[in-house]
């Protein structure tokens, strides 16, 4: 009789594992469960873009309704920002949001430019490749943008000048379906505007 009771949980575990096989592989450094539609944020909280859905935050301590309400009033308007050639994109490994050593050098140069142009506000866009669900990629894109923002802050760029937005997989640089193309799409992109 105890054998029958042990077989049921084992079968449930196998079914649960098979049902999760379509999700992207994750590790300790990959994004957790998705938070919803396109995320806009300024500072530590975030709000959902015009697509609706629930709000998401990347920090457990910043999940209060007050933080989300404050962020909603400070939401960046992406159409008012522009690209500058001095700020280079940084790329990420598949399903990761850690800053790689080669990209840290790029961010060091970006931080130097931002410090010498202290009147510029910065919008950091987080992007993903096409693999994974829309919701998952929106969450991962936000984590990539936030990791990039945190690195710039650690290099002396004022956090009050930085905002993040995630487009997930919605705005690819490359539309081919291969690893070389996907690697280009896993990025953080920079836009600026005067204060």
In a domain, residue 27? The reply is no
Model pTM greater than 0.85?
Answer: no
The pLDDT, as a whole number, for residue 78 is 75
Residue 138 pLDDT > 90: yes
pLDDT digits (tens, 9 = 90+) for 16-25: 544 443 333 3
CATH number of the domain within which 57 lies:
3.30.1330.60
Q: How far apart are CA 172 and CA 167, in angstroms?
A: 9
Is 74 part of a structural domain of the chain?
A: yes
Is 163 domain-assigned? yes
**Which tokens hold the place of 174?**
């490359």
Query: For residue 158, is pLDDT > 80?
Result: yes
Q: Give domain status of residue 16, yes or no.
A: no
Q: Is residue 64 part of a domain?
A: yes
What residues have CB less than 8 Å from 73, skipping those under 6 apart?
none
Q: Which residue has the tokens 């919605």?
A: 170
**Is residue 19 situated within a structural domain?**
no
Q: How much is the pLDDT for 42?
A: 42
Query: Domain for residue 49, yes or no?
Result: yes
Domain interval for residue 121: 37-194
Number of domains in the chain: 1
pLDDT at 79: 79
Q: Does residue 125 have a pLDDT over 60? A: yes
Average pLDDT, the chain: 75
Q: Which of 122, 131, 127, 124 is nearest to 140 (CA)?
A: 127
| Ordered DSSP codes for 52-120 | ------SSGGG-SHHHHHHHHHT---GGG-B--TTSPPEE--TT--PPPHHHHHHHHHHHHHHHHTTTE
Residue 106 lies in a domain: yes
The per-residue pLDDT for 70 is 37
């Amino acid at each position: 009789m105890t054998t029958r009771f042990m077989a049921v949980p084992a079968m449930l575990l196998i079914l649960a594992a098979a049902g999760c096989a379509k999700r992207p592989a994750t590790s300790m450094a990959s994004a957790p469960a998705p938070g919803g539609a396109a995320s806009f944020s300024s500072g530590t909280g975030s709000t959902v873009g015009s697509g609706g859905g629930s709000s998401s935050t990347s920090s457990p301590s910043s999940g209060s309704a007050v933080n989300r309400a404050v962020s909603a009033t400070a939401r960046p308007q992406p159409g008012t920002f522009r690209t500058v050639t001095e700020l280079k994109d940084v790329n990420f490994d598949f399903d990761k949001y850690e800053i790689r050593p080669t990209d840290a050098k790029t961010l060091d140069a970006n931080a130097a430019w931002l410090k010498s142009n202290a009147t510029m506000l910065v919008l950091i866009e987080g992007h993903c490749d096409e693999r994974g669900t829309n919701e998952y990629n929106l969450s991962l894109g936000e984590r990539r943008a936030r990791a990039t923002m945190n690195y710039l802050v650690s290099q002396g760029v004022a956090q009050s000048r930085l905002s993040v937005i995630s487009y997930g997989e919605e705005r690819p640089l490359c539309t081919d379906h291969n690893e070389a193309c996907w690697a280009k799409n896993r990025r953080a992109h920079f836009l600026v505007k005067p204060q």
